[in-house]
């Protein structure tokens, strides 16, 4: 920092210029062999022709010629070997040394999960019951019995735009069903009331199924048509909620190891700083949490496209790597049949900013997943049943990706943002990390942590990662995030809509 | 009715049994030649082999043999000639005699449109500004200045789930842009504040465009990122809203002919009664309104599929018919590329209930569009610039189809329902028509008009159509519908999402 560069990982053989640096400037004890623009890479030592170039501790390509210490590293001397089928599954799976887990104060559930919040959810099968779910929540806010429950964080309507006008069998239907069931089971809910209209494609009996949707049994359901209209549904729902809240409020926060945490990693409104401040800092926090036995979820498949073989190399087992490749092939088909294409190549603007290869660009997003082995790969909203660093397939679209992570079990979200996202995601608290100090200063009431000080104050990525982990533990124990204080989360349940609207 | 049958249109040569009728029962003075199940068709006079069979005054097929008066008409003696390319555009375009228009009390706008409500909308470009739009509306509810505006019906957040994670050029993007612009221009808004996040694909400057989005100029916009976060945006929005409400509140209800009304026709949660009670009654109301110079919109393409050549026959010009055929071809491609197919054939259950041909099934939905000439065909959300009976392409999914109609300019919705839909659609009031008296009795607090009395009380379809028109005029003049009284409309803005979520 003092030298105007940043090293993103101890193993890297390049550092990043934080300002336009002239020829002869001395960085890490080495004089630059030529001028290097801001955001671009500098060889931290001599790199042999064909040697891997490492950024974030990850391969971003190979030197296409001998590179001297202090030289500018970019398209003229850094290339990417063809890798289309070179997935080398597990080749770079290096378990991290374990750490004694920290503790948080959480809500222990019947199935062994531990929640960070204790909400009661009013889940909806279809848009057509969405307004009534909100009316119920509004009535509950004014209900003295419900307001007297000391351990319930609130009654949360979970409203969306789909659930009918769709096939009742295809992939879109299965994805929505997984998403709704996943919310019903999320450990941040102490109880779920499912409200349907009655005639929708996503039938309430199919959602409820044969088994118990929630292990604690604190689950009830009703349809507006079966109950006799809006007012009757609100009245009956209030009675049900009073019983459910009584049960939910018996649970109190008790100590749990952070190995019980499931944290969704996200970025949105990214900027040129995301990949050098907040994302690697979050990656360090992820590594620490994984070393303590916790679980972190990387997602947003369109943004890692082209660098998937770096994740397959971290896979703990062949099936894990193969499952990721299968998801990538699925996405190629999904975009092709929608007259689009997957393309995460650096644009001319990206290249001007210092990003040389598709790997390097995707690694800016992947950096928030740290360096731990890849323990499992899940579909959107599939229940997460493995500790460690895992992947859940999703679009890059923030509210949709977070919705999948919460359906998969995430009890907390940590979200890096450069331009400034202000959303929240009930029932799971969301910690916002600003990538730059300028935006943090402008939007401090929305940003939980400034990672811009990695550049402006010379804070190390490791120290920032520890700060993030400490905040994760505090928030898991009940401290409200800024988006919770502001009341966010009523609009951001966005199931992934796949297929035709009929 | 006294005879246990119903005639759906004066020109029909079949009537419908309202109960299981035995051989020899006398209907319309003719003895049945055999037993006829409830819901099935009876020849009201002798029908020659090859002669058209008419229901709703529309062709549902041809007699495949000589049919005696009083005979059961079904699959054994009613067939459908191949018609794939037999669109016969305009062949049955029969203008209806005009009627002196009734008047309503509406809000006259700068461009000559007349609204039935005077809301101020908080429109959102993306899901990521949805919660803030709601916070603004909540703050506005408590604002004494805004509450002192006598002629403003309320401040309505228009929140959705898309606007980013999408292509910025394709058909899905164009459709969303049309929808948002259409809401901004709807005559039921006296002013629009557009709130974006800042970094979304659906950019606020692109939405605002070069021209004036609203002819009255009562339009403002802002982004959360540009304004400096959540609290700053709420505070600034309140100031803007006070200025906008001052302008909007200057407009008072004044008389206007019903030729200024644009009414969206809808059905949802249909049952076996829809096609014999509420839909033909609404069709009669539509014909009356069209005869007075008004505009009605039929939609829900998957539900008219297979009967589109009956609409092309009503087309006023070749281009109108061709445009409908083009939409049908588009839908075939849309469903095929999403691994589905268009199929509106009667199911075994439909056939058991008395529906013989695909025409007859689709006509149950089309019946709500009456018999007037087809004046124009529009894409989803395209501005309606023609009076008369028009078609706007949409899915059958109720909230999505209504969203398109309102974006196209609908200032009122009339919605038939058999199972009991309880939704509402701000800014446009929605009149609910129950198709059967049993559901009406159960859900009377949600149903504006019972059309079940066509069967249970022998009310004629014509009388019920006049009752519906009278209610349309009352509601247009300010009478609240039941869904407005209950507060519906906050969850039902559902833009049609076409294409991949990225
Ligand atoms: Ca991202
Ligand atoms: Ca992104
Ligand atoms: Ca994202
Ligand atoms: Ca329908
Ligand atoms: Ca419908």
Distance B446 CA to ligand 1 centre (A): 43
Collect all residues with Cβ–Cβ distance below 8 Å to B137 and sequence separation of at least 6. B122, B155, B156, B157
End-to-end CA gap in chain B? 56
Interface of A with B in 127-156 (CB under 8 A): 127-128, 130-132, 134-135
What is the tens place of the pLDDT at every residue in B382-400?
999 999 999 999 999 999 9
Provide the percentage of residues in chain A whose pLDDT is more than 70: 99
Backbone φ, ψ for residue B38 (5° rounding):
-55, 135
Nearest to B21 by CA among B9, B10, B11, B31: B31
CA A174/CA A406 separation, integer angstroms: 17
Cβ pair B420:A229 closer than 8 A: yes
Number of CB atoms found within 10 A of residue B160's CB: 22
- A338 interfacial to chain B (CB closer than 8 Å): yes
A202 pLDDT higher than 60: yes
CA A28/CA A5 separation, integer angstroms: 8
Say if residue A325 is preceded by a cis peptide, omega within 30 of 0: no
CA B384/CA B382 separation, integer angstroms: 6
Residues of B with Cβ-Cβ distance to A341 under 8 angstroms = none
CB B426 within 8 A of CB B489: yes
Cβ pair B395:A501 closer than 8 A: yes
List the shell of residues around ion ligand 3, using CB closer than 5 Å: A 268, 396, 398
The confidence score (pLDDT) of residue B254 equals: 98
Is residue A192 helix, strand or coil?
strand
What is the tens place of the pLDDT at every residue in B211-253?
778 989 999 999 999 999 999 999 999 999 999 999 999 999 9
The confidence score (pLDDT) of residue B154 equals: 96
Query: Worst-scoring range by mean pLDDT, A230-234, B1-5, B131-135, B364-368?
Result: B1-5
Confidence of residue A85 (pLDDT cuts 50, 70, 90): low
Mean pLDDT across A131-147: 96
What is the tens place of the pLDDT at every residue in B9-59?
989 999 999 999 999 999 989 999 999 998 999 999 999 999 999 999 888
Mean pLDDT across A244-273: 96
Residues of A with Cβ-Cβ distance to B398 under 8 angstroms = 128, 164-165
B196 pLDDT higher than 60: yes
Collect all residues with Cβ–Cβ distance below 8 Å to A200 and sequence separation of at least 6. A125, A126, A128, A129, A163, A164
Helix A398-408 with A171-185: angle, nearest 10 deg: 60
The confidence score (pLDDT) of residue A1 equals: 41
CB A107 within 8 A of CB A253: yes
Q: Residue A130 is nearest to which of B334, B491, B502, comparing CB atoms?
A: B491
Mean pLDDT across B264-277: 93
The confidence score (pLDDT) of residue B59 equals: 87
Backbone φ, ψ for residue A363 (5° rounding):
-65, -25
Sheet of strand B52-55, all strands in order from the earlier edge strand to the far edge: B52-55, B58-63, B78-79
Cβ pair B502:A228 closer than 8 A: no
What is the tens place of the pLDDT at every residue in A375-428?
999 999 999 999 999 999 999 999 999 999 999 999 999 999 999 999 999 999
B344 pLDDT higher than 90: no
CA B394/CA B322 separation, integer angstroms: 17
- B367/chain A closest Cα distance in angstroms: 20
Residue labelled with tokens 């920092």: A1
Q: Residue B499 is nearest to which of A127, A338, A419, comparing CB atoms?
A: A338
Collect all residues with Cβ–Cβ distance below 8 Å to A253 and sequence separation of at least 6. A105, A106, A107, A477, A478
Q: How far is CA B374 from CA B58, B90, B147, B260, in A?
A: 14, 9, 44, 18
CB B162 within 8 A of CB B261: no
A461 bridge partner residues: none
B76 pLDDT higher than 60: yes
B308 pLDDT higher than 70: yes
Structure tokens at A18: 């934080």
B65 pLDDT higher than 90: yes
What is the tens place of the pLDDT at every residue in A4-13?
899 999 999 9
Residues of B with Cβ-Cβ distance to A494 under 8 angstroms = 127, 161
What is the tens place of the pLDDT at every residue in B425-456?
999 999 999 999 999 999 999 999 999 999 99
Model ipTM?
Answer: 0.93
């Amino acid at each position: 920092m003092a030298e105007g560069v940043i090293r993103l990982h101890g193993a890297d053989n390049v550092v990043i210029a934080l300002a336009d640096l002239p020829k002869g400037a001395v960085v890490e004890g080495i004089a630059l062999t030529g001028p290097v623009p801001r955001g671009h890479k500098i060889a931290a030592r001599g790199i042999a022709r064909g040697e891997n170039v490492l950024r974030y501790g990850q391969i971003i390509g190979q030197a296409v010629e001998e590179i001297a210490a202090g030289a500018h590293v970019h398209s003229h001397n850094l290339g990417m070997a063809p890798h289309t089928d070179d997935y080398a599954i597990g080749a770079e799976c290096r378990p991290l040394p374990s750490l004694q887990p920290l503790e948080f104060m959480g809500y222990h559930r019947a199935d062994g999960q531990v929640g960070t919040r204790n909400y009661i959810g009013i889940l909806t099968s279809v848009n057509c019951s969405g307004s009534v779910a909100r009316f119920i929540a509004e009535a509950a806010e004014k209900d003295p019995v419900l307001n007297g429950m000391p351990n319930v964080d609130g009654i949360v309507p979970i409203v969306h735009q789909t659930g009918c006008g769709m096939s009742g069998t295809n992939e879109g239907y299965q994805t929505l069903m997984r998403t709704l069931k996943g919310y019903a089971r999320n450990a941040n809910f102490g109880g779920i009331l499912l409200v349907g209209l009655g005639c929708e494609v996503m039938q309430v009996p199919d959602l409820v199924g044969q088994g118990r949707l929630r292990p604690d049994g604190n689950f009830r359901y009703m349809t507006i048509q079966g109950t006799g209209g809006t007012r009757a549904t609100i009245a009956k729902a209030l009675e049900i909620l009073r019983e459910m809240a009584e049960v939910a409020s018996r649970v109190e926060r008790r100590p749990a190891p952070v190995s019980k945490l499931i944290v969704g990693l996200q970025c949105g409104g990214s900027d040129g700083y995301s990949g050098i401040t907040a994302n690697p800092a979050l990656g360090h926090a992820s590594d620490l949490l994984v070393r303590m036995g916790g679980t972190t979820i990387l997602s947003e498949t369109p943004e890692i496209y082209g660098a998937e073989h770096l994740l397959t190399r971290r896979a703990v087992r062949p099936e894990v790597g193969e499952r990721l490749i299968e998801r990538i092939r699925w996405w190629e088909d999904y975009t092709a049949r929608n007259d689009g294409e997957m393309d995460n190549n650096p644009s001319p603007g990206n290249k001007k900013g210092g990003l040389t290869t598709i790997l390097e660009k995707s690694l800016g997003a992947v950096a928030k997943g740290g360096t731990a082995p890849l323990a499992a790969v899940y579909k959107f909203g599939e229940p997460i049943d493995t500790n460690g660093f895992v992947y859940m397939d999703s679009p890059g679209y923030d509210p949709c990706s977070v919705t999948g992570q919460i359906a998969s079990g995430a009890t907390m979200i940590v979200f890096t943002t450069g331009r400034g996202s202000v959303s929240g995601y009930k029932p799971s608290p969301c910690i916002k990390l600003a990538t730059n100090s300028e935006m943090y200063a402008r939007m401090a009431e929305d940003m939980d942590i400034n990672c811009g000080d990695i550049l402006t104050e010379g804070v190390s990525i490791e120290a920032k990662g520890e700060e993030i982990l400490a905040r994760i533990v505090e928030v898991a124990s009940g401290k409200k995030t800024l988006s919770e204080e502001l009341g966010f989360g009523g609009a951001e349940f966005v199931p992934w809509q796949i297929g035709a609207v009929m």
